[in-house]
Amino acid sequence: MKVVYSARYHIDIGLHVFPTLKYRLVHDSLVARGTVRAEDFIEPQPATWDELALVHTSEYLEKMRTGTMMPDDVAQLELPWSEEMVEGFRLMVGGTIQAARIACGLQDRSLSEARTSEFRVTVHIGGGLHHAFPNHGEGFCPFNDVAVAVRVLQARSIERTAIVDLDVHHGNGTAFIFESDPNVFTFSIHQQHNYPMWKPRSSLDVGLPDGAHDAAYLRELERALPKVMATGPQCVFYLAGADPYEDDQLGGLRLTKDGLRERDRMVIEAVRSASCPLVITLAGGYARRVEDTVAIHVATIEEAMTA
Ligand SMILES: [Zn+2]
């Protein structure tokens, strides 16, 4: 299994609830535990500005590129603008694109065409920036990496994709981007009474009450997964957010680590039994102790390894 990662994801955004250090900590933990061999880590290339333009407007990209964002733009993004920030997230979008290419066999020169009827999982220690819209970034998400990767695959004749978004927050940007694309099935389980206030409609939305806990969550997931796979995706993107966790500072669904691990197993098994490529991105995670966020992400990757 290939794992896409760059040390440059540890982006300096000052004192912040979003620990960009987590990417490095997840990487280091996988190395220390011997879960992933050194030769299986792939360093991504940054997404090109043309690739970003498959989703984002030229006006927005120009503001990001030149640092001419207005104070309101910065407040909505909730990240300080810097060249390092923009380049770090552009690289992270490239990471999701690369993971999608590997999962679909587009990277493999021995294949004459994409392999979209074979289970192959690729993990990206990054990504899941689901709050970014075409014309603005918000909620720590400057660019929508999964949306850009979906558009890149579509340009290579991989039309039908599904997005399983299990971050605690609704995937508002992603839902908006694909609202009128019948080939992209967007699915989100989230805490209903949490950011974002405005939740554009996904293909399938499950909004859970505060404190839903493991059993209710897993029951909803079990009911939904067959509906997702019934759409016949040629590639599935999974946003394995760590923020449904019970000790998360920005989430209130109160899942345990065991519950989250069972969630991961269910998603991976549903995609595996449908013989479909799978791309896993990390998305959010703001536990009081960063070690908990890291342990949850590492558990996801361990589940992917053993699939
Ligand atoms: Zn989140």
- The model's pLDDT over 10-22, given as tens digits with 9 standing for 90+, comes to 998 888 999 999 9
N residues, the chain: 307
Band of pLDDT at residue 47, cut at 50, 70 and 90: very high
Residue with tokens 């912040």: 16
Question: What was the pLDDT predicted at 307?
Answer: 85
- Mean pLDDT is lowest, of 68-72, 140-144, 253-257, for 68-72
CA of 241 relative to ligand 1 center, distance in Å:
6
Look at residue 96 in the predicted model and tell me its pLDDT: 98
CA of 114 from ligand 1 middle (Å) equals: 31
189 CA to centre of ligand 1 in angstroms? 11
How is residue 302 written in tokens? 């361990």
Cα-to-centroid distance, 284 and ligand 1 (Å): 4
Query: What are the tens digits of pLDDT across the range 170-192?
Result: 999 999 999 999 999 999 999 99
**Partners of 183 in the β-ladder:** none
Between the CA of 109 and the centroid of ligand 1 the distance, in Å, is: 36
d(CA 155, CA 91): 20
Question: Chain-wide mean pLDDT for the chain?
Answer: 96
* Ligand 1 centre distance from Cα of residue 288 (Å): 14
Distance from C-alpha of 264 to C-alpha of 40, rounded to nearest angstrom: 21
Cα–Cα nearest to 170, from 222, 241, 103, 235:
241
**pLDDT above 90 for 303:** yes
Torsion, Cα 43 46 50 53, to 10 degrees, reads 110
278, 271 contact by CB (below 8 A):
yes
pLDDT at res. 111: 76
Nearest-angstrom CA–CA distance, 294 and 278: 21
What average pLDDT score do residues 131-160 get? 97
pLDDT tens per residue, range 55-85: 999 999 999 999 999 999 999 999 999 999 9
For residue 166, pLDDT over 80 is answered with yes
CA of 102 to the centre of ligand 1 (A): 26
If you measure from the C-alpha of residue 287 to the centroid of ligand 1, how many angstroms do you get, rounded to a whole number? 11
Residue 113 Cα to ligand 1 midpoint, Å, equals 35
The answer on pLDDT for 299 being more than 90 is yes
10 Å CB burial of residue 302 (0-12, 13-18, 19+) is middle
Beta carbons of 237 and 149 less than 8 angstroms apart:
yes
Mean pLDDT over 127-145 rounds to 97
Q: Which two tokens stand for residue 241?
A: 């957010």
- Give the Å distance between the CA of 42 and the centre of ligand 1: 25
Written as six digits, the tokens of 99 are: 């993971």
Q: Does the pLDDT of residue 104 top 80, yes or no?
A: yes
Pick left, alpha or beta for residue 163 (phi over 0 → left; psi -120 to 50 → alpha; otherwise beta). beta
pTM over 0.85: yes
* Cβ proximity of 205 and 199 under 8 Å: yes
Give residue 250 CA to ligand 1 midpoint distance, Å: 7
* pLDDT at residue 114 is higher than 90: no
